[in-house]
């Protein structure tokens, strides 16, 4: 009853329930939203805990829901400072909670809030996050001043009300003679009006190519809660830490990160089509956002990200049953028809091997339609992990007792692999007369498109991948 009275003091109607030895105080609907708003001031560890067992994500969602309907955003200015800068005030309020930020128009739009009261700065950062801006609290220099700041791109990721307010400041300054550069102001307005820099609800992930040409997708933050929030969102999507993404919590003032592995982005693309109902929606939004960010970083980055996504979407999308294909190998046309298949994982010494067994009829085409030298046999391609980089490599050996000998068998096997994966394998002729066909990770990913092989390949990749 005391809890009920305390909540009533804040205008929240609550119901008291009794059950055996326990009692509950329950708020519904608009009263629940009003209760959530109290956490803007008194957010407990349940909202910020690093340990996911203690964190109440439903409560965090309720706070965000309450803020969406309650935040008020307005602005004052712009004005010239004594130093000649163009500045304005942006005020975000929720009920009787109000924070006034400084907005500066320089080479970029920059929003700041500074104070020696860290709690006040944390509140300013919280209101910004509720307005859709990825905001962090930082210490300024060696003094006792704390700061939260956000520049053009982060502001352009915010809610429409925030973007509109800042765009109005820019337009007002643009109307003043010689206050801001017209070309620069136009670029700011394009971002603020479009809100295209970041997808709503997602913080800024950096998407780039490393020096080796690999795709890197990473979110960094000095706030442990933000790192845990992103990691949890990925878990909710269906991604596994270690297998699909890695994370590091901030330590010693240095930023932590959540890094999406290539397998993680590909799996998210697969989940966007074949996951559960909740997974599909979350994964599709994430994949679309990463492709958007990649496109903003340049055509090369976009193509690489799209390649990973398309490969993920293709996993399990095809079937070996009823497969027929036509390919060219060494200037000759072959017709391939798959009639059987299998995949198994074997332990051999210190290496765990994946054996793909495919039975197929392979015939050579003469003229326009005549198929000759049809041969049906089971082909085995054995994949293992090799070298310092733990590369996935597959090998098959042409059989001397096959019709027309090793050379013909090697060519038929090459035709089968190319027909199924789209890539011709490398053929190595040894001094002892053996012919070895070599497949790479790209061939394995090609085989993974087939539903009959996808599960075994994914299992082998997970069991043999380095953590």
Convert the pLDDT of each residue in 196-221 to its tens digit: 444 555 778 889 999 888 899 999 88
Q: Which of 25-29, 67-71, 213-217 has the lowest mean pLDDT?
A: 67-71
Q: Is the pLDDT of residue 48 over 50?
A: no
pLDDT category, 53, cuts 50, 70, 90?
Answer: very low
Q: Is the pLDDT of residue 42 over 80?
A: no
What average pLDDT does this structure show over 37-58? Answer: 49
pLDDT of residue 60: 55
Token readout for 219 is: 């979110």
pLDDT of residue 311: 86
Pairing of strands 256-260, 22-26: unpaired
Q: Is the pLDDT of residue 65 over 70?
A: no
DSSP per-residue string spanning 371-417? EEEEEEEEEEEEEEEETTTTEEEEEEE--TTSTTHHHHHHHHHHHHH
Identify whether 220 is part of a domain: yes
State the average pLDDT for the chain: 85
Whether 192 contacts 166, CB under 8 Å: yes
Looking at the 3D structure of the chain, how many domains does it have?
Answer: 3
Identify whether 114 is part of a domain: yes
Q: Is the pLDDT of residue 392 over 80?
A: yes
Residues 337 and 459 in one domain: yes
Identify whether 2 is part of a domain: no
pLDDT category, 127, cuts 50, 70, 90?
Answer: confident
CA angle, residues 220, 224, 228, in degrees to nearest 5: 85
Residues 189 and 210 in one domain: no
What average pLDDT does this structure show over 385-393? Answer: 90
Query: Domain residues for 425?
Result: 324-464
Residues 336 and 267 in one domain: no
pLDDT tens for residues 294-314? 888 889 999 999 999 988 888
- Write the CATH number for 301: 3.10.28
Identify whether 164 is part of a domain: yes
Token readout for 306 is: 């799209």
Q: Is the pLDDT of residue 37 over 80?
A: no
Of the residues 163, 194, 225, which one is the last residue of a structural domain?
A: 194
Residues 328 and 459 in one domain: yes
Identify whether 402 is part of a domain: yes
pLDDT of residue 157: 76
pLDDT of residue 191: 82
DSSP per-residue string spanning 251-317? BTTB-EEEEE-HHHHHHHHHHHHHS-HHHHHHHHHHHHHHHHHHHHH-HHHHHHHHHHHHHHHHTT-
pLDDT of residue 221: 83
pTM: 0.50
Percent of the chain with pLDDT over 90: 42
Residues 299 and 377 in one domain: no
pLDDT of residue 412: 95
Residues 89 and 217 in one domain: no
Of the residues 166, 194, 222, which one is the last residue of a structural domain?
A: 194
CA 118 to chain centre: 32
Residues 154 and 221 in one domain: no
pLDDT tens for residues 269-299? 989 888 887 788 889 889 989 998 888 888 9
pLDDT category, 324, cuts 50, 70, 90?
Answer: very high
Residues 90 and 217 in one domain: no
In terms of Cα–Cα distance, which of 228, 73, 237, 100 is closest to 158? 73
What average pLDDT does this structure show over 248-259? Answer: 85
Identify whether 247 is part of a domain: yes
Q: Is the pLDDT of residue 78 over 80?
A: yes
Contact residues for 5 (Cβ-Cβ < 8 A; gap 6+): none
| Torsion angles phi and psi, residue 186, rounded to 5 | -65, -40
pLDDT category, 172, cuts 50, 70, 90?
Answer: very high
Whether 136 contacts 223, CB under 8 Å: yes
What average pLDDT does this structure show over 255-265? Answer: 90
Whether 415 contacts 362, CB under 8 Å: yes
pLDDT tens for residues 402-459? 999 999 999 999 999 999 999 999 999 999 999 999 999 999 989 998 989 998 998 8
Question: How far is the C-alpha of 462 from the C-alpha of 445, rounded, in Å?
Answer: 14
Of the residues 272, 289, 314, which one is the last residue of a structural domain?
A: 314
Identify whether 200 is part of a domain: no
pLDDT category, 26, cuts 50, 70, 90?
Answer: confident
In terms of Cα–Cα distance, which of 336, 352, 354 is closest to 445? 354
Residues 291 and 242 in one domain: yes
Residues 307 and 336 in one domain: no
Residues 138 and 225 in one domain: no
Token readout for 298 is: 């340049």
What average pLDDT does this structure show over 45-63? Answer: 48
Residues 74 and 149 in one domain: yes
Token readout for 231 is: 């990691």
pLDDT category, 229, cuts 50, 70, 90?
Answer: confident
pLDDT tens for residues 412-424? 999 999 999 999 9
Q: Is the pLDDT of residue 354 over 90?
A: yes
Token readout for 101 is: 């930020």
Identify whether 217 is part of a domain: yes
pLDDT category, 389, cuts 50, 70, 90?
Answer: confident
């Amino acid at each position: 009853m005391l809890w009920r009275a305390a909540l009533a003091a804040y205008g929240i109607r609550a119901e008291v329930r009794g059950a055996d030895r326990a009692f509950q105080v329950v708020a519904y609907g608009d009263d629940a939203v009003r209760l959530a708003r109290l956490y803007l001031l008194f957010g407990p560890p349940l909202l910020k805990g690093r340990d996911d067992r203690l964190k109440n994500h439903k409560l965090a969602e309720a706070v965000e829901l309450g803020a969406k309907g309650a935040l008020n955003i307005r602005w004052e200015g712009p004005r010239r400072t004594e130093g000649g800068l163009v500045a304005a005030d942006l005020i975000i309020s929720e009920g009787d909670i109000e924070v006034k930020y400084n907005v500066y128009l320089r080479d970029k739009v920059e929003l700041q809030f500074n104070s020696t009261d860290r709690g006040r700065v944390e509140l300013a950062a919280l209101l910004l996050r509720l307005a859709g801006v990825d905001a962090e609290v930082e210490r300024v220099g060696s003094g006792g001043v704390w700061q939260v700041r956000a520049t053009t791109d982060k502001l352009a990721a915010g809610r429409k009300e925030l973007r509109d307010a800042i765009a109005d400041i820019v337009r007002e300054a643009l109307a003043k003679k010689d206050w801001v550069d017209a070309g620069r102001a136009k670029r700011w307005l394009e971002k603020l009006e479009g809100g295209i820099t970041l997808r709503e609800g997602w913080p800024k992930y950096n998407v780039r190519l490393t020096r080796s040409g690999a795709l890197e997708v990473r979110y960094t933050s000095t706030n442990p809660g933000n790192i845990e929030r992103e990691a949890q969102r990925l878990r909710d999507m269906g991604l596994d830490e270690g297998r699909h993404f890695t994370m590091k919590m901030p330590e010693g003032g240095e930023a932590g990160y959540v890094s999406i592995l290539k397998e993680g982005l590909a799996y998210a693309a697969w989940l966007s089509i074949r996951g559960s109902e909740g997974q599909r929606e979350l994964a599709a939004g994430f994949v679309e956002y990463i492709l958007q960010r990649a496109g903003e970083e340049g055509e090369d980055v976009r193509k690489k990200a799209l390649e990973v996504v398309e490969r993920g979407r293709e996993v399990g999308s095809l079937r070996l049953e009823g497969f027929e294909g036509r390919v060219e190998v060494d200037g000759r046309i072959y017709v391939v028809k798959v009639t059987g298949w299998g995949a198994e994982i074997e332990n051999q010494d210190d290496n765990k091997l994946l054996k793909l067994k495919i039975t197929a009829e392979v015939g050579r085409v003469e003229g326009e339609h005549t198929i000759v030298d049809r041969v049906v046999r089971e082909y085995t391609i054995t994949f293992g992990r090799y070298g310092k980089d733990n590369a996935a490599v597959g090998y098959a050996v042409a059989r001397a007792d096959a019709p027309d000998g090793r050379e013909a068998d090697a060519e038929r096997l090459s035709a089968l692999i190319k027909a199924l994966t789209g890539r011709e394998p490398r053929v190595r002729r040894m001094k002892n007369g053996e012919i070895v066909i070599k497949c790479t990770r790209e061939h394995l990913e090609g085989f993974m498109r087939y539903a009959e092989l996808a599960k075994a390949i994914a299992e082998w990749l997970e069991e043999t991948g380095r953590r």
